[in-house]
Chains A and B, each alone.
Chain A
Amino acid sequence: MKRPCEYESEVSRAARTGFWTDALQHHAETCPSCSETRVVTQALIAESARLRTEIPPPDAAHTWIEARRRVRIHLRHRALFWFRALRILTLIYIPTLLVWTFSHRTTPVHEPWTPTFRTDFASMLTGPAETFALSGALLAALCITMGSWYLLREARTPLRHSPSR
């Protein structure tokens, strides 16, 4: 059974670069483990040289454009996340508002109606209702801001090459 040798990395480096010292060459011929290392490294280096020269890699421009396209999709997904959250908030808040309004409806009394919406609405929003409405408004603002931010970023990521190219 062969055992790993401490000179394996040096033998491998020498086989890769072609710089052999006499001592190392002698060691590689006599040491079973290093002999294996040399055979395998030389075979793989030959294979590597063949693979690198045989078929050149695709042009960087294709990869760059593809990456830009993915970034745009990525940003659009994020914008959609916030707009979906806004939709869910709407679905929660509108029924809640209706339920709350009907449950707090008081018996009508005969008094002259004053067309001051502000006074009436403000008088309805007290205590927990005020907190609830305010948090809803803030969350809606957050969703709209974040969604718009990602849409703007998407618009600033055009699918074309840089002018310096």
Chain B
Amino acid sequence: MERTPGLVNLVFGHAQTSAIDEASFRVLYDATSQPLRAYLLHVCRRPDVADDLLQETYCRYLMHRRTDMDESQTRSYLFRIATNLIHDRVRSRVDAMVPDIPERGRAPNIETRLDVRSTLRRLKPRERELLWLAYVEGMNHQEIAAATGLRPLSIRILLFRARHKAAQFLAPHDAPKRFA
């Protein structure tokens, strides 16, 4: 997935990996890698791909990071890189055949797990991204817009539709439709 750098970047750009030492990077990695990997795994659904994208995300962060970013901005920036990488992968159609995440151990509630998994299969990657960022990462619309590259005004309606769709998939089929 390596790209040829542009002429301007090639001549005047700066690789900043040396500006952060390994210990600081480890602290950052330990704090952010788990949620980021869960996000990648949730959206792309393959552990090997998620690991590749996770590594790519941190490599790009180290190459292009700005030194004036605080903790929240760094988190947003990492999610933005990860989202862009997912979009690149979706566009390149390399994951036409997507197998399930392999089972390891037992989750406490198998029904919930199966419901969520079947929901994942039916949602689009963009919908999975929005739902995860909003409801797992607790990002507001501005932060989601920054992470996904969408307009803040579009987030509200897209999120509403995605949530409605997910809720329909998660609802038991024999349950009465209380709010229909």
Contacts and interface: CB of A to CB of B under 8 A. Distances in A.
* B interface bracket (residues with beta carbon within 8 Å of A): 35 or more
A157 interface: yes
Contact of B25 (A37, A64, A78): A64
Contact of A161 (B22, B104, B117): B22
Majority secondary structure of chain B interface residues (helix, strand, loop or mixed) = helix
A40 B170 contact: yes
A136 interface: no
B105 A67 contact: no
B27 to A, nearest CB: 9
8 contacts: A33-B160, A48-B38, A52-B35, A60-B29, A70-B59, A71-B15, A74-B15, A161-B22
Interface of A: 2, 4, 9, 12-13, 15-16, 32-33, 35-37, 39-48, 50-52, 54-58, 60-64, 66-68, 70-71, 74-75, 77-78, 81, 156-157, 161-162, 164-165
Interface of B: 2, 5, 10-11, 13, 15, 17-18, 21-23, 25-26, 29-30, 33-38, 41-42, 47, 51, 54-55, 58-59, 62-63, 101, 104-105, 107, 109, 112-113, 115-117, 119-120, 131-132, 134-136, 138, 140, 156, 160, 163-164, 166-167, 170-171, 178-179
